[in-house]
């Protein structure tokens, strides 16, 4: 990217292919996040110019549904065409447009569909949807549309909703309704479509003068099968990652582009060559950084962004892992999130050794059954990553709360 073009890492994160690897659909150009199609959204934002830094920590929305009229979910055999997985691609495109992001690629198995987005990830299960967006996206604006989609096309009603985010590093860059947690709660409470269905509460965990975590939960759960209805999500948000690690996620580290200079003037050929190069760089970033080793035996979908940045989804069985990296100097950040039932004593140090941050925040949201027989990593007051190189992290704060009936939220700073 030439500096004269004034293009930045935020303005030109366009590294993906539209489902080309998996579903044989035509190649399309990626619409940039702040230029999402107009679907008649109640948009009070006008878009902000890039300020030289990027808000890496994601906003996360998890919504669980149940059949209208009840019924046992476990009697369904073909989960590929059940519940939310019956939604068409055009519905998901419209959903993402409300958050000001676009779908880049998808991988699937019998349990879920995992989408890499222009800004983070989307996971669709038969009865649960998880949407993570970073930067200046407007995540809460998808909720009413999602509820109506689920009712109209899937005959589902909302059962549980959780929204969470860390406090922003650059709050002045955010769009409505994300300019403060108070504004977010006000939006959820006053929105004419949401308020009658989302009688939830907001909470703050952690020191208000340092890194802290905002959580909103609306719980209308009626347990269908207490033995199988379990959930846990672990998120590690890492800041000031090692410069040598950050360097791995810049396009320029993988050779100069020469596609436009080739003798062949065939646009389709040049586009194919560009996509091939993109796949190669995405793969190289995954291997060279050590990310591949963090997700053994999983189906990976990695996307490098030009001129910098990286996103990856990995699915194995009914579990997902997602990694997102913002390598810009001054706002370098990496996140690792998973709902796997993992061996924390081994995995957490491996994640930290991969990115080598100066500090990190770890959060856990789980129901009580999800915590049973689970090695809770937030209980580790000291994490010895590499004693030889003095890479030892000590926890300096820990907060926890039980929300609604059985949702446990924990947050720690190291």
Contact 369, 229 (CB under 8 A): yes
Of 130, 359, 344, nearest to 238 by C-alpha is 359
Is 55 in the active site? yes
Cα–Cα–Cα angle for 315, 344, 290, rounded to 5 degrees: 55
The pLDDT of residue 24 = 33
Find the catalytic residue in 324, 328, 331, 332. Answer: 324
As given in the structure block, the two tokens for residue 196 are 């009658």
Any idea how long the chain is? Answer: 414
Per-residue pLDDT of the chain (414 residues; tens, 9 = 90+): 233 333 344 433 433 333 333 333 332 233 333 333 333 444 444 445 555 566 778 999 999 999 998 765 555 566 678 999 999 999 999 999 999 999 999 999 999 999 999 989 999 999 999 999 988 899 999 999 999 999 999 999 999 999 999 998 888 888 899 999 999 999 998 876 676 777 889 999 999 999 999 999 988 776 555 444 557 899 999 999 999 999 999 999 987 654 444 455 566 656 677 778 889 999 999 999 999 999 989 999 999 998 899 999 999 999 999 999 999 888 899 999 999 887 877 899 999 999 999 999 999 998 877 777 778 889 899 999 987 888 999 999 999 999 877 789 999 999
Find the catalytic residue in 55, 62, 328, 337. Answer: 55
Long-range contacts of residues 339-343, Cβ cutoff 8 Å, at least 24 apart:
339/231, 339/232, 339/233, 339/234, 340/316, 341/232, 341/373, 341/374, 342/234, 342/375, 343/375
The rounded distance, in Å, linking the Cα atoms of 277 and 256 is 11
Find the catalytic residue in 118, 282, 311, 335. Answer: 311
The pLDDT of residue 136 = 83
The rounded distance, in Å, linking the Cα atoms of 33 and 12 is 9
Find the catalytic residue in 105, 118, 120, 331. Answer: 120
Q: What is the DSSP letter of 250?
A: B
Q: What is the DSSP letter of 308?
A: B
Q: Which residue has the tokens 């998973």?
A: 338
Find the catalytic residue in 9, 10, 12, 58. Answer: 58
Interval 91-114: pLDDT, tens: 999 999 999 999 999 999 999 999
The pLDDT of residue 76 = 59
> Which residues of 10-95 form beta strands (DSSP E)?
59-67
Contact 85, 117 (CB under 8 A): no
The pLDDT of residue 191 = 75
Q: What is the pTM of this model?
A: 0.83
Is 58 in the active site? yes
The pLDDT of residue 371 = 75
Cα–Cα–Cα angle for 363, 105, 129, rounded to 5 degrees: 45
Is 90 in the active site? no
Is 220 in the active site? no
Is 9 in the active site? no
Is 404 in the active site? no
- H or E element, residue 302: strand 299-304
- H or E element, residue 91: helix 89-98
Find the catalytic residue in 96, 134, 295, 308. Answer: 134
- Tell me, rounded to whole angstroms, the distance of Cα 134 from its chain centroid: 8
């Amino acid at each position: 990217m030439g500096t004269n073009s004034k293009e930045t890492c935020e303005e030109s994160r366009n590294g993906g292919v539209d489902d080309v690897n998996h579903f044989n659909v035509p190649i399309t150009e990626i619409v940039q996040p702040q230029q999402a199609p107009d679907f008649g959204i109640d948009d009070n934002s006008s878009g902000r110019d890039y300020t030289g830094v990027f808000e890496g920590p994601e906003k996360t929305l998890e919504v669980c549904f149940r059949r209208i009229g009840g019924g046992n979910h476990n009697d369904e055999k073909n989960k590929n065409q059940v519940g939310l997985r019956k939604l068409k691609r055009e519905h998901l495109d419209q959903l993402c447009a409300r958050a000001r992001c676009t779908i880049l690629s998808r991988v699937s198995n019998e349990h879920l569909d995992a989408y890499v987005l222009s800004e983070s990830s989307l996971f669709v299960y038969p009865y649960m949807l998880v949407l993570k967006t970073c930067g200046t996206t407007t995540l809460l604006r998808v909720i009413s549309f999602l509820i109506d989609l689920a009712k109209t096309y899937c005959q589902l009603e909302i059962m549980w909703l959780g929204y969470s985010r860390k406090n922003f590093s650059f709050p002045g860059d955010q769009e409505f309704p994300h300019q403060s947690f108070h504004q977010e709660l006000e939006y959820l409470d006053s929105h004419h479509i949401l308020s009658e269905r989302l009688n939830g509460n907001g909470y703050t965990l952690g020191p208000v003068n340092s890194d802290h975590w905002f959580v909103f939960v609306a719980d209308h759960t009626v347990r269908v099968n207490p033995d199988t209805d379990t959930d846990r999500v672990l998120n590690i948000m890492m800041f000031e990652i090692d410069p040598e690690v950050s360097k791995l996620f810049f396009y320029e580290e993988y050779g100069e582009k020469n596609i436009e200079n080739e003798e062949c003037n065939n646009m389709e050929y040049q586009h194919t060559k560009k996509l091939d190069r993109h796949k190669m760089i995405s793969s190289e970033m995954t291997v060279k950084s050590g990310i591949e080793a963090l997700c053994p035996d999983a189906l990976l979908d990695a996307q490098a962004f030009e001129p910098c940045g990286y996103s990856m989804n990995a699915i194995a069985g009914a579990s997902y892992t997602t990694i997102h990296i913002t390598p810009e100097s001054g706002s370098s950040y990496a996140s690792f999130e998973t709902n796997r039932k993992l061996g924390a004593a081994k995995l957490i140090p491996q994640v930290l050794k991969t990115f080598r941050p100066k500090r990190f925040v770890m959060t856990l949201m789980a129901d009580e059954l999800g915590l049973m027989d689970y090695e809770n990593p937030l209980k580790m007051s000291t994490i010895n990553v590499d004693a030889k190189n003095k890479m030892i992290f000590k926890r300096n704060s820990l907060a926890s709360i039980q929300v609604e009936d059985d949702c446990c939220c924990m947050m720690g700073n190291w």
